[in-house]
Amino acid sequence: MTTVQRTIWHVGHGRTLDLSLSGAIMAIINVTPDSFSDGGLHDTVDGAVRHALACFEEGAVILDIGGESTRPGAAEVSAEQEIARVVPVITALRQKTDALISIDTYRAATARAAVEAGAHIINDVHGLQREPEIAAVAAETGSGLCIMHTGRGREKLADVIADQRHFLGASLEIAAAAGVARETIVLDPGFGFAKETTDENLELMARFEELHEFGLPLLAGTSRKRFLGALTGREAPERDAATAATTVALRLKGASVFRVHNVAINRDALVMADAMLAAERQLAATKGSTA
């Protein structure tokens, strides 16, 4: 039999997620009025909780709660505003579901408040480099940590993978210095975040396997991104089929977690990709036993 490498993601509150044989869906739950695709649709506590529970029923393993839009040009909110938006949602969800809960923030104060309310994962779109203190929160609480690459606010290297190495390498140094355990970390290459052209995003997809050199699970966040619209000609709410296509492509290239708006279509896409990978493993095992 072929040996499957065990990949266990350690997240907060004593929980783990086994990523060895199948990918996991992370549902986007925006408690914001201005997110690029679904701003204002779930910006009340009751609305966000209902939407999150529906995503869980459709197959999401992680519910990613965000209180500030990360679209280009979005207005920043204060930490107090962000906490006021997300903590009641997290508190309610912990009472209603055993789903893993992620907090989408770059602020240390918000991360701490969210984890204290019951969140298991901290998802930082600034890769620990906006508020490095957030790494200490992750280390002290034992939370799962998603570290995302971004090109915003800096000059990038010309080669897309070289820039991933440069930025994420610095982020991992911050994490290590704070005492973050490696088994809690997942990396996100940040599709659409200052990836200026469609070609740049496509090159990152095509070379995705090179990111395995970090030796950590990888998260893919392509959902409804602008480069999908450039390719399909569709507006953001109509890009779910294109997103599902990237879910299959990136799962076959080794992505483990998929952050999406439409859970159902991406869950089905992931089921098919996982089935293909299982069939490949079985074929390899059969050939190995008859060799």
9-65: pLDDT as tens digits: 999 999 999 999 999 999 999 998 754 454 445 568 999 999 999 999 999 999 999
pLDDT tops 70 at residue 71: no
| Sequence ranges of the domains in the chain | 8-290
Q: What is the mean pLDDT of the chain?
A: 93
The tokens for 103 are: 């907090």
Q: What percent of the chain has pLDDT over 90?
A: 87
For residue 143, the Cα-to-chain-centroid distance in whole angstroms is: 14
The tokens for 245 are: 């296509």
Where in the sequence numbering do the catalytic residues fall? 225, 259
Cα–Cα dist 173/159, whole Å: 21
Question: pTM for this structure?
Answer: 0.93
- Candidates 168, 121, 170; CA nearest to 141 is 121
**Which position has the higher pLDDT, 287 or 203?**
203
Which residues lie closer than 8 Å to 214 by C-beta, 6 or more apart?
A: 168, 172, 187
For residue 289, the Cα-to-chain-centroid distance in whole angstroms is: 38
Give domain 8-290's CATH architecture: Alpha-Beta Barrel (3.20)
- Candidates 147, 251, 234; CA nearest to 193 is 147
Which residues lie closer than 8 Å to 169 by C-beta, 6 or more apart?
A: none
pLDDT tops 70 at residue 3: no
Question: Mind giving me the DSSP string for 3-21?
Answer: PPPP-EEE-STT-EEE-SS
Q: What is the pLDDT of residue 44?
A: 86
Confidence band, pLDDT 50/70/90 cuts, at residue 74: low
- Candidates 197, 204, 198; CA nearest to 165 is 204
pLDDT tops 50 at residue 2: no
Q: What is the mean pLDDT of residues 93-112?
A: 97
pLDDT tops 90 at residue 161: yes
Backbone angles phi, psi at 146, to 5 degrees: -95, 120
pLDDT tops 50 at residue 211: yes
Q: What is the pLDDT of residue 33?
A: 76
Q: What is the pLDDT of residue 4?
A: 62
Q: What is the pLDDT of residue 35?
A: 46
CA torsion, ordered 223, 126, 95, 92, to nearest 10 deg: -80
Cα–Cα dist 142/197, whole Å: 37
Residues of the chain by 3-state class (helix, strand, coil), percent to 5: 50, 15, 35
Q: What is the mean pLDDT of residues 262-267?
A: 98
Q: In Å, how far are 122, 130, 143 from 109, measured between CA atoms?
A: 12, 13, 14
Q: What is the pLDDT of residue 32?
A: 83
Q: What is the mean pLDDT of residues 66-93?
A: 89
Which residues lie closer than 8 Å to 203 by C-beta, 6 or more apart?
A: 160
Pairing of strands 219-220, 257-260: parallel
Confidence band, pLDDT 50/70/90 cuts, at residue 287: confident
What is the number of alpha carbons within 13 Å of residue 285 lying toward its C-beta?
Answer: 10
Confidence band, pLDDT 50/70/90 cuts, at residue 289: confident
Q: What is the pLDDT of residue 196?
A: 85
Q: What is the mean pLDDT of residues 162-180?
A: 98
Query: What letter represents residue 26's amino acid?
Result: M
CA angle 201, 202, 207 (to 5 degrees): 100
